[in-house]
Structure 1
Amino acid sequence: MEAQHLHAKHGTEEEWSTGFCDCFSDCKNCCITCWCPCITFGQVADIVDQGTTSCGTAGALYALLSALTGCGCIYSCFYRQKMRAQYNLRGSDCGDCLKHFFCEVCALTQQYRELKNRGFDMTLGWAANAERQQNQGVAMGAPVFQGGMTR
């Protein structure tokens, strides 16, 4: 019975909207993340925490941890895990840590693209996104579908 439960849970997980190594599909964000990952991390954390942690606070904490320990990736890894749980994305805790440890830029840019593809304007932050989507009648985090039915 336990094996069936695990299989059913795994079967409901969604794929990420972009690949892990698709960093260059958004060159602007890739460059920003490469030179200053605290910016991208702050934007991701603000959305994932639904505004309870501001972009500036999360980014500053990331920069401080990186400067003091060289391991800001440990902090960002937890946000990847939290994001996977929120959106039921495929992956594992161990895989998250390895991705952030060995390729922080790819991990952060993938998270950024995922949120962007779910309808978030990453430059606005949580509060402005929530207001914008409420005014449009869109559920927060709903996947954005391009195109539509045609006759």
Structure 2
Amino acid sequence: MPSTVIISQPPPAMEAQNTQDWASGICDCWDDVPECCFAFWCCPCFACKTSKKYGECLCLPLLDLFGGCVPAITMSLRVSMRQRYGIRGSMCNDCLCSTFCTGCVWCQMSREMKRRNIPIVLIRASQT
């Protein structure tokens, strides 16, 4: 008599946080010194790496080089990350930070992704 095995995996969960704030401040470079140095010496390369890790196009941040005075890509990825992780904030704050602290914004987003990244292991089970 054949038996059927049904395996269901719970949905992926993010790390629980007590607050809805960023895990680190905009100028918390001491939390990850190597990444902040990388961002300082080659911000476009660091932004591309971070964008790819976030799931966006690798070269997307390079479009900021052709824009106006507000880096639209940096700002939109920051807004997207705030919404994805449920972080409080405003578009005005995102605009100011992205315009005047671009490298620090990319470092903060990278630290946030590291903190919230929980590897999800998918297991395919079948019975023959």
Fold similarity call, TM over 0.5: yes
Q: CA deviation at 1:54?
A: 3.1
Deviation of 1:21 (Å): 1.1
Residue 43 (structure 1) aligned with residue 49 (structure 2): yes
Q: Which amino acid aligns with 1:33?
A: A
Partner Cα separation in structure 1 for residue 106 and residue 69 of structure 2: 14
Shift of 1:98: 0.2
Residue matched to 1:134: 120
CA deviations on 1:95-120 (whole Å, 9 max, x unpaired) are 00100111111111111100011126
> Could you tell me which of 58, 83, 91 is aligned with 2:81?
83
Which whole-Å deviations, capped at 9, do the CAs of 1:46-89 have from their partners, x for residues lacking one?
A: 343xx3x332x32xxx33532x4475722111100011011110
Taking only the aligned residue pairs, the percentage that are identical comes to 31
Contact 1:45–1:54 (8 Å) recurs in 2: yes
Tell me if 1:63 matches 2:62: yes
- Please list, as runs of the form range in 1=range in 2, the aligned pairs for 1:12-27 lying within 5 A after superposition: 14-27=20-33
Q: In structure 2, what is the equivalent of residue 118 of structure 1?
A: 116
Letter aligned with residue 57 of structure 2: S
Change (3 A) 1:15 1:65: closer
1:26 Cα deviation from its structure 2 partner: 1.0
Change (3 A) 1:71 1:136: farther
1:135 and 1:78 map into 2 onto residues whose CA distance is: 30
Question: 1:38 offset after TM fit, Å?
Answer: 2.0
Q: Which runs of 5+ in 2 are unaligned?
A: 1-17, 124-128
Partner of 2:106: 108
Greater relative contact order, per chain length (Cα 8 Å cut-off, separation 6+): 2
* Distance (Å, rounded) in 1 between the aligned partners of 2:82 and 2:113: 11
Q: Which residue of 1 aligns with 2:57?
A: 54
**Matched AA of 1:65:** D
Question: What's the offset of the Cα at 1:13?
Answer: 6.8
Q: TM-score, normalised by structure 1?
A: 0.59
CA separation of 1:33 and 1:65: change in aligned 2, threshold 3 A: same
Larger helix share, 1 or 2: 1
| Larger Rg over CA atoms | 2
Q: Aligned partners of 1:46, 1:113: CA distance in 2, in Å? A: 14
- Given the two structures, how large is their TM-score scaled by the length of structure 2? 0.69
Aligned residues: 106
